[in-house]
Amino acid sequence: MTGATSLLRVEELAKNYGGLQAVRGVSFDVRPGGITGLIGPNGAGKTTCFNMIAGAETPSAGKVFLDDEDVTGVPTNRLYHKGLMRTFQLSHEYARMTSLENLMVAGAHQTGENLFKSWFRPAEVAAREGEILERARDALDFLGLTHVTDELAGNLSGGQKKLLELGRTMMHDAKLVLLDEPGAGVNPTLMLEVIRMIRRLNEERGYTFCIIEHDMDLIADLCEKTIVLAEGRILMQGTMAEVRNDERVIDAYFGGDVV
């Protein structure tokens, strides 16, 4: 890593879908080692921002910098190798594979290359598989999921699936992890576990997080800084104490005739 003061920086990001301006001139930065929250009402443009940062959507305007390198428009798989991972609002597990197999698939990302290598360098491939297996077991152990190692992922609870998603990010050396609603569909007990694991990954493994979440307790618990989006723009950013008392935020969530 360079001496950059921000690990992620977005400048004037914008995305239009036809006539709809989903994101309009969003700028913010995320410091290395920090946990930043991204909140806002449904349709505010949060997921679209993540998609542009993670290379899944091309911005209509604006730039994305990772470690001071301009990565605007760089595809997801190349960002992945630069240490940027993301999870999805709806968990993306393979239902008919076990927890262990799900993590191993996430670890064996370059299938094409492996297929080639297996002909010419079988020993190297076997060693790599051993390494992937070890990493997968380490992730399950870290996340407290060893008891579901051989369970089909489709049978896991909502919370266990979210923990498995965190496990996917542990199959590579992540620097920046974007979490899209890690608390969605998680029961209150496992919610505490998800929060605890995010904090441990931050403190013990040095992951920097940017988290979209509707659960304000999760955000208040974990995030040093929270960015509030509404209608594609940044309404304000600050600590949760500042966010909580901001009239504009209260208006964005509860304004109009919705109470």
Ligand X SMILES: Nc1ncnc2c1ncn2[C@@H]1O[C@H](COP(=O)(O)OP(=O)(O)O)[C@@H](O)[C@H]1O
Binding footprint of ligand X on the chain (CB under 6 A) = 17, 20, 22, 40, 42-48
Q: Which of 10, 39, 47, 62 binds Mg ion (CB under 5 A)?
A: 47
Tally of residues, the chain: 259
Alpha-carbon gap, residue 45 to 233, rounded angstroms: 8
Three-state DSSP state, 243:
helix
Alpha-carbon gap, residue 84 to 76, rounded angstroms: 8
Alpha-carbon gap, residue 160 to 80, rounded angstroms: 23
Output 47 or 98, the one with its CB closest to ligand X. 47
Alpha-carbon gap, residue 208 to 126, rounded angstroms: 32
Q: How far is the CB of 12 from Mg ion (least distance, A)?
A: 21
Q: How far is the CB of 17 from ligand X (least distance, A)?
A: 4
Output 6 or 89, the one with its CB closest to ligand X. 89
Output 48 or 99, the one with its CB closest to Mg ion. 48
Output 125 or 234, the one with its CB closest to ligand X. 234
Alpha-carbon gap, residue 7 to 176, rounded angstroms: 8
Q: How far is the CB of 38 from ligand X (least distance, A)?
A: 8
Binding-site partner at residue 43 among ligand X, Mg ion, none, CB < 5 to 8 Å by type:
ligand X
Measured torsion, CA atoms of residues 192, 193, 198, 202, in degrees rounded to the nearest 10: 100
Q: How far is the CB of 196 from ligand X (least distance, A)?
A: 25
